[in-house]
């Protein structure tokens, strides 16, 4: 899944030596405590994908309503990107991460105790705000303590470990929901959040960076200006559709498609989504290898996104009312895994954006891309709700495929002179 890029804190320059370079457990233990937040974030944001049917029934909402409620997570996430980045520069990783964990725990409790749409909405907004910096905190902590070469290795490890949170919201969550209901899923999130909070309080030590501190208003204006600038527009456009499709499938409509349309039990659905989650962990590594070995970043991005859109179309074609007939669950398994692998080229958007600006603007440029990722998820995921309500889950998947295709074609058109 995409990175929570810092708005103001960026990795050290290649020739810069970190002020403090711990090794061994002095570095690893605090980092692992912080990375638990990213694991929790990925688990919580994808929980509705395996619990959508019972959430709809218990909250008394339609599929359209659930899409809007879960889209609020991404909206809060996007709105908090710049404030969190500035807070890290002003207050340091320890204070910010403790605040984020407290907010996330409050959101998990609110979601677990929700009795209707409004209380569940409150939970989603708190969860989105709390999770907004769960990748940003360990990445910033590592960036301030490691050389550029060391940081490259650790940033990849942080992303891979964090994405494993989607494994928790697959088969394990399916078993938990069948045994104790969907509220137990958010209860488990509360326990994990409290555990991580205690570990951060015990293990993470850092001092706030020295001033002068950036202005939130100034940084916000600069991020927006960069995002609208000509060098970044193409990356911003494809980012808007990219993460929206990934989280729309894994975090919302994938589970209902398998359970309601293909009539699979929740546990088998969880198994398929777990393999899909594994592909989301492996995919970014493979895309990075392709980029380093062959180059042609523009082509890799376009082919990956168009292939992901094709996978969604093929999933629908293999449904009960599709022209291919009701194909077996193995078809869905292959297509969901292929979708996850191909859409995982999306981290290369950050490389496209980073290469378009000077080094002193890198943090803000990455923040602009990250804002587009999560704003797109909020808008497109919410918009998929009315589509599903009107024409079914298959139509919702086709809608996501169409958004991916449009975003990719616009990206190709806007970068045609640079090809």
Q: What tens digit of pLDDT does each residue of 238-290 get?
A: 999 998 998 889 878 898 999 999 999 988 998 898 899 888 888 877 877 77
Distance CA 395, CA 298 (A): 29
Indicate the number of domains in the chain.
1
Q: Is residue 250 part of a domain?
A: yes
* Res. 4 pLDDT band, cuts 50 70 90: very low
How many residues does this entry show for the chain?
A: 419
Distance CA 416, CA 298 (A): 10
Query: And the tokens for 145?
Result: 């303590």
Q: Is residue 11 part of a domain?
A: no
Q: Is residue 87 part of a domain?
A: yes
**Does 65 or 103 have the greater pLDDT score?**
103
pLDDT higher than threshold 60 for residue 16 = no
Query: And the tokens for 338?
Result: 């292929």
Q: What tens digit of pLDDT does each residue of 198-232 get?
A: 999 999 988 776 767 667 777 777 777 877 888 88
* Res. 303 pLDDT band, cuts 50 70 90: very high
pLDDT higher than threshold 50 for residue 40 = yes
What is residue 19's predicted lDDT score, i.e. its pLDDT?
A: 44
Is residue 210 classed exposed, middle or buried when 0-12, 13-18 and 19+ CB atoms within 10 A define those classes?
exposed
Q: What tens digit of pLDDT does each residue of 78-93 get?
A: 888 878 877 877 788 8
Distance CA 121, CA 75 (A): 12
Which DSSP helix (H) or strand (E) runs through 248? Answer: helix 230-248
Q: Is residue 173 part of a domain?
A: yes
**Does 57 or 355 have the greater pLDDT score?**
57
Q: Is residue 15 part of a domain?
A: no
Burial 348-378 (b: 16+ CB within 10 A, else e): bbbbbbbebbeeebbbbbbbbbbbbbbbbbb
Q: Is residue 7 part of a domain?
A: no
Alpha carbon 416 to its chain's center:
28
Q: Is residue 112 part of a domain?
A: yes
DSSP 8-state code for residue 214: P
Q: Collect contacts of 208-214 with beta carbons under 8 A, ≥24 apart.
A: 208/90, 208/91, 208/92, 208/95, 209/9, 209/89, 209/90, 209/92, 209/144, 213/86, 213/89, 213/90, 214/8, 214/86, 214/89, 214/90
Distance CA 405, CA 408 (A): 5
What is residue 358's predicted lDDT score, i.e. its pLDDT?
A: 67
* Res. 12 pLDDT band, cuts 50 70 90: very low
- Residue 237, domain CATH: 1.20.1250.20
In order, the DSSP letters of 27-90 are HHHHHHHHHHHHHHHHHHHTTHHHHHHHHHHHHT--HHHHHHHHHHHHHHHHHTHHHHHHHHHH
* Res. 307 pLDDT band, cuts 50 70 90: very high
Q: Is residue 17 part of a domain?
A: no
Give residue 63's domain range: 25-418
Distance CA 180, CA 165 (A): 20
């Amino acid at each position: 899944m995409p990175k929570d890029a810092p708005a103001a804190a960026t990795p050290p320059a290649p020739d810069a030596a970190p002020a403090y370079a711990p090794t061994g457990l002095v570095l690893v233990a605090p980092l692992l405590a912080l990375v638990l937040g990213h694991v929790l974030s990925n688990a919580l944001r994808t929980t509705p994908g395996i619990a959508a049917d019972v959430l709809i029934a218990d909250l008394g909402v339609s599929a359209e309503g659930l899409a809007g409620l879960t889209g609020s997570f991404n909206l809060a996430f996007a709105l908090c990107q710049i404030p969190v980045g500035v807070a890290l520069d002003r207050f340091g990783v320890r204070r910010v991460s403790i605040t984020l964990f407290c907010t996330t725990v409050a959101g998990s409790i609110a979601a677990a105790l929700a009795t209707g749409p409004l209380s569940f909405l409150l939970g989603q907004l708190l969860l989105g705000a709390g999770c907004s910096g769960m990748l940003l905190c360990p990445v910033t902590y590592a960036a301030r303590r490691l050389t550029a070469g060391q940081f490259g290795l650790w940033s990849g490890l942080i992303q891979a470990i964090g994405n494993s949170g989607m494994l928790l919201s697959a088969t394990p969550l399916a078993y938990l929901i069948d045994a104790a209901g969907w509220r137990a899923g958010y209860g488990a999130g509360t326990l994990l959040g409290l555990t991580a909070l205690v570990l951060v309080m015990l293990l993470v030590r850092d001092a706030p960076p020295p001033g002068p501190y950036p202005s939130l208003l100034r940084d916000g204006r600069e991020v927006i200006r960069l995002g609208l600038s000509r060098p970044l527009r193409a990356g911003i456009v494809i980012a808007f559709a990219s993460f929206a499709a990934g989280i729309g499938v894994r975090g919302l409509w994938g589970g209902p498609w398998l359970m309601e349309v293909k009539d699979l039990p929740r546990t088998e659905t969880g198994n398929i989504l777990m393999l899909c989650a594994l592909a989301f962990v492996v995919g970014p590594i493979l895309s990075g290898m392709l980029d380093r070995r062959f180059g042609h970043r523009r082509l890799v991005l376009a082919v990956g996104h168009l292939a992901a859109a094709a996978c969604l179309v093929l999933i629908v074609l293999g449904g009960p009312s599709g022209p291919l007939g009701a194909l077996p669950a193995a078809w869905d398994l292959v297509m969901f895994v292929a979708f996850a692998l191909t859409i995982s080229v999306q981290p290369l958007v950050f490389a496209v954006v980073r290469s378009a600006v000077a080094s002193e603007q890198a943090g803000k440029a990455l923040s602009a891309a990250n804002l587009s990722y999560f704003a797109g998820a909020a808008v497109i995921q919410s918009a998929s709700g009315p589509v599903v309500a009107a024409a079914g889950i298959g139509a919702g998947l086709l809608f996501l495929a169409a958004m991916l295709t449009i975003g990719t074609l616009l990206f190709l058109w806007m970068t045609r002179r640079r090809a």
